Amino acid sequence: MKIDKRKTKLVLILILAVVICGFSVMYDDYSQETVQTNATELSNKKIGWGIKRNDNHEQPDVGTQNKKILEESEGICLGNNNDKVIYLTFDEGYEAGYTQKILEVLKANDVKATFFITAHYVNTQEELVKQMIDEGHIVGNHTPKFLMSGNKI
C-alpha cells in the first residue's frame, strides 16, 4: 500500500493546528484573573432603606450610611436639587398587565423611565424586561436581594 506523502503532511499539519488551537483555548481560560471572595468577610448586616422627609420643600435625607453606599456603587437616589427634572419610575410585578402599553407610550414620546422589577417579574416577563433594556430604560432592583444586572437577563 502506497502512502501519499502530501496528504500525510496535510493531515499532520491539520492535527497540529487543532492541537495548538486547543492548547491556546485552554491557556486563555486559565490565564484570566480569578477573583476569590470569602463570604465570611462580607457583611450581612441589614440596612434599613428609607427617607426622612423635610417640611421645608427640600430633598429628603437618605441617611449617612445609605448615602455612602450609593456613592461607592455610583447609585442614584436623589437628583440634583438645582435642576428641574422629573424621574418617571414604575414598580413592576404589581402592574396588572399594563406594561406593554406603558412601553408603547414611552417609546412614542421618546421618554425614558426606570422600572423597578421584582424577582418574580424578571422570571415571568423576560421579554418585557429585555424590551425595557433594549429601549434604553433603566431596570432597577425591587427585590430583597440584588439578583439581577442592569444590562443582562
Residue 151 lies in a domain: yes
Q: Is there a single domain that holds both residue 121 and residue 152?
A: yes
- As a whole number, mean pLDDT of residues 118-136 equals 90
In one-letter notation, the amino acid at residue 112 is K
What is the pLDDT at residue 2?
60
Q: Give the lowest-confidence range in 44-58, 80-94, 111-125, 137-151.
A: 137-151
The pLDDT value recorded for residue 8 is 75
What is the domain extent for residue 67? 49-77
Asked if 62 and 108 sit in the same domain, the reply is no
What's the pLDDT tens digit per position in 46-99? 777 777 787 887 888 888 888 888 888 777 777 777 888 788 889 887 778 889
Q: In this structure, is residue 21 part of a structural domain?
A: no
In this predicted structure, the answer to whether residue 153 has a pLDDT above a threshold of 70 is no
In the predicted model, is pLDDT for residue 103 greater than 90? yes
pLDDT the model gives residue 151: 42
Q: Which residue has the higher pLDDT, 21 or 113?
A: 113
93 in a domain, yes or no? yes
Which pLDDT score is estimated for 133? 94
- Same domain as 120, residue 93: yes
Q: Is 90 exposed, middle or buried (0-12, 13-18, 19+ CB in 10 A)?
A: buried
Domain identity same for 65 and 91: no
125: exposed, middle or buried (C-beta count within 10 Å: 0-12, 13-18, 19+)?
Answer: buried
Of residues 98, 94, 90, the one with CA closest to residue 121 = 94
Residue 137: closest CA among 99, 103, 93: 103
pLDDT level of residue 150 (50, 70, 90 thresholds): very low
Write the CA distances from 135 to 46, 71, 79, integer angstroms. Answer: 34, 26, 22
Q: Is residue 14 part of a domain?
A: no
What domain count does the chain have?
Answer: 2
pLDDT over 90 at 136, yes or no: yes
Q: Is the pLDDT of residue 140 over 90?
A: no
Asked if residue 10 is part of any domain, the answer here is no
In tens, the pLDDT along 4-55 reads 777 777 777 777 777 676 666 555 555 556 666 676 777 777 777 777 787 8
